[in-house]
Chains A and B, each alone.
Chain A
Amino acid sequence: MTQTAVTPAREPAVRKATPGGARTARRSGRRRLALPYLLLLPALVLELLVHLVPMLMGLAMSFKELTQFYIRDWAAAPWSGLDNFSVALDFDAAVGQSLLRSFLTTCQFTLLSVGLCWLLGTAAAVLLQENFRGRGVLRTLFLVPYALPVYAAVITWAFMFQRDNGLINHVLHDQLGIGDSPAFWLIGDNSFWALLAVSVWKGWPFAFLTVMAGLQNIPRDMYEAAALDGAGVWKQIRHITLPSLRPVNQVLVLVLFLWTFNDFNTPFVLFGKAAPEAADLISLHIYQSSFQTWNFGTGSAMSALLLLFLLLVTGVYLLLTTRGRKTSDV
């Protein structure tokens, strides 16, 4: 940003000195205008190829009867109109029912996970604002889950959650004596909580990092002034920290929401191809519908519906939060 603002101001002085006059200056000025677009072009082309084209292909597939008979040449698959969508949305039949259940599970899961990530991240960032011995070490430690490769981290969790040989049951049941018998974490109802624990463990360092960056931007003297006026720590957090973090939080919550709602890696590594019903997040559910039962058409329709839902939620969210911010700014 600063660079583009600085260069035009410096350039004319150079140009005036060159012989050739205004025409060259204008032409190079035009080029100068085109430059940012040219530089954006590679990204644009790749974005088109990597995101837009597959997305459109996916949408096209959702209107086709795409099974193993046609995957070799999916364009030749017969059109099925809205059949795939009606199968996905028929909540009286098994496919629709399980999609709805998976969707509701994902909503619940996302709300809890994002809420906890935000709470933990913010609390840690606020606590680490003050300078004290060991702060650097703690900051680094907190970022470890964020730095670890997802697969390695989650597979370790899967080992820890094993019923008979896992660390979790060893601590909870053997050492603390909770429960009559060791609990199952990777199958059955508890799997929801196991997945939530891993998701929060994996997600909160990002919230921590973002909030910490946001905190750096709040001028110190605001706190000093507030302290002079007699505001305690809680009042400072409520009236200075949180309102100043609003723009940061707005992005943070949205990003966490989208990541968590679409999370595929965590349940896939934790549970394998078939997640337990209680922890059947929608991404894995769609994967299973497409790649495990080879209903690629229905899977595409489910993806299209998910995309629509996420666009809608994001749109409404942005509308509400930006409007809210403008009025509060006034």
Chain B
Amino acid sequence: MRRIRAAVTGAVTLSLLLTATACGGGGEDGGGQATKTLTYWASNQGSSLEVDKKVLQPELDEFERRTGIKVKLEVIPWSDLLNRILTATTSGQGPDVLNIGNTWSASLQATGALLPWDAKNFDAIGGKDRFVDSALGSTGAPGQDPAAVPLYSMAYALYYNKQMFKDAGIAKPPTTWDEVIAAGKKLSKDGKWGIGVEGSNLSNNIHQVFVLGKQHGADFFTADGKADFTSDGAVAAVKQYVDLMATHKIVAPGNAEYAQNQSLSDFAKDRTGMVLWQTPSQTFASQGMAEDEWGVVPAPVPAGKPGTGTATNSMVAGINLAVFKNTKNLDGALKFVKFMTSDEEQTALNKTYGSVPPVKTAQQDPAFSGPSLAVIRDTLASSAAALPQVPEESQFETVVGTAVKELFADAAAGRPVTTESVKAKLDKAQQQMPKK
């Protein structure tokens, strides 16, 4: 009998314990412990999660050596990052410091989960003036304190395969869309193709059609932040992008299902002559393509040279560093952000990842004035525009990115892509946006 009673007591206790731990969770802070540790969610920047751990861990060890604060690192793949952040926001159990895609800044700012970077917080990391203006442009909604600080900057450029260009008799790399199409037609034969796209990658679709939208004078959102996906300019932008496959036939139909950077391997394997990308040099190298086999020029514009206004040729791409508002170690978090945005770390990390530092002083390092990174740096300085800094930005990526994916599927299947069909898809996308 006693044994049974003990068993029952045990079972009930165990269940209560399980319940308690299931509800509790999270913070492992027993008083002083919290100020000695930080949790950092890093986005996947290198060719794998392991590579990122190897790159970041020595830096984190250095931080611990200087401040005595231990940083627990978790590298999160892009496909999971936004959902992980949302879950952390809902539960309140998040990391102390985290990476966010800079295009999500305003969306995540609206949740109220991120620490606002007011003057005092900026002072703690050396001041707002340290950062390049274009990078600060995608840190949150205008008129509000930024929700994050820039960490790595990137921009789109046109990469071309030198040998394929030579074989096709193309004298100089294209600078306008007409030249891209002309070069693409010369390249597209014998199983080779002009330019690569990632038709099933929603974010990439958005980056490309956003820039084309700018070139057509459209912004996808009105000045007061309402979705405006069906304006003539927006429709023309989407159609122009899909037409590279549908009308001009300079994109391989198979690209419609690409979402895992397959267009980069096609490029590295001499199957595609051009690709519009942000800082792919690491990937090219890992695919066995030597640095002198490819060239880089600014992304194309309708006519003339890249610049502001309709000659915008890239979105401001990059990664920001944010602090969770409910961190128990604000002081440590600020110290860590200061460390990561210091000249020394900025130079080291951006050099490794092939990106450009958003910190002015670090940008002066000779490592960033090579031909490939100089194009990116100049694009960021003069002709890149930030994606709309509105709370609905991340929904826009999903619904319009999906519309472009479906249009590419139509083009690949040989179905016509018309102004009407583009408009219908964009109209459907707009209706899926949350009602204000």
Contact = CB atoms under 8 A, between A and B. Distances in A.
A77 to B, nearest CB: 12
B19 interface: yes
B112 interface: yes
B431 A69 contact: no
Given A72-B89, A293-B395, A294-B395, A276 B406 contact: yes
B412 A188 contact: yes
Contacts of B200: 186-187, 272, 274
Interface in B49-93: 79, 83, 86, 89-90, 92
Contact of B18 (A42, A189, A294): A42
Contacts of A68: 107-108, 110-111, 391, 394
B111 A72 contact: yes
Given A162-B257, A292-B398, A46 B19 contact: yes
Interface string A183-195: 0101111000000
Contact of B413 (A49, A67, A184, A288): A184
Contacts of B16: 45
Given A39-B11, A94-B432, A274-B405, A72 B19 contact: no
Contacts of B14: 42
The contact size tier of chain A is 35 or more
A98 B256 CA distance: 22
A186 B262 CA distance: 15
A94 B86 contact: no
B1 interface: yes
A224 interface: no
Interface in B163-219: 199-200, 202
Contact of B409 (A49, A95, A187, A295): A187
Interface in A270-302: 272-274, 276-277, 288-289, 291-295
Contacts of B202: 273-274
Nearest to B90: A71
A31 B4 CA distance: 10
Interface in A24-65: 28, 31, 35, 38-39, 41-43, 45-46, 49
A129 B11 CA distance: 42
A1 interface: no
A72 B90 CA distance: 5
A41 B427 CA distance: 53
Nearest to A272: B259
Contacts, number: 124
B257 A187 contact: yes
B96 to A, nearest CB: 17
Interface string B395-428: 1001101100110111011000000000000011
B190 to A, nearest CB: 15
A19 B204 CA distance: 82
B215 to A, nearest CB: 25
A166 to B, nearest CB: 10
Interface residues of B, number: 55
B307 interface: no
B12 A184 contact: no
B89 A71 contact: yes
B8 interface: yes
A74 interface: yes
B110 A186 contact: no
Contacts of A94: 427-429, 431-432
A46 B431 contact: no
A273 B402 CA distance: 9
Given A41-B15, A273-B202, A293 B259 contact: no
B374 interface: no
B6 interface: no
Looking at A68, A69, A288, A292, the one whose CB has the most chain B CB atoms below 10 A away is A68
B12 A38 contact: yes
Given A49-B19, A72-B92, 15 more contacts: A35-B4, A41-B11, A42-B15, A46-B15, A68-B110, A69-B110, A69-B112, A184-B257, A187-B256, A272-B79, A273-B202, A274-B202, A276-B406, A289-B432, A292-B395
Interface of B: 1, 4, 8, 11-12, 14-16, 18-19, 22-23, 79, 83, 86, 89-90, 92, 107-108, 110-113, 199-200, 202, 252-254, 256-257, 259, 391, 394-395, 398-399, 401-402, 405-406, 408-410, 412-413, 427-429, 431-435
Q: Which 7 A-B pairs have the closest CB atoms?
A: A42-B15, A94-B431, A187-B409, A292-B398, A164-B254, A274-B402, A94-B428
8 contacts: A69-B112, A94-B429, A95-B431, A163-B257, A184-B409, A184-B412, A276-B406, A293-B434
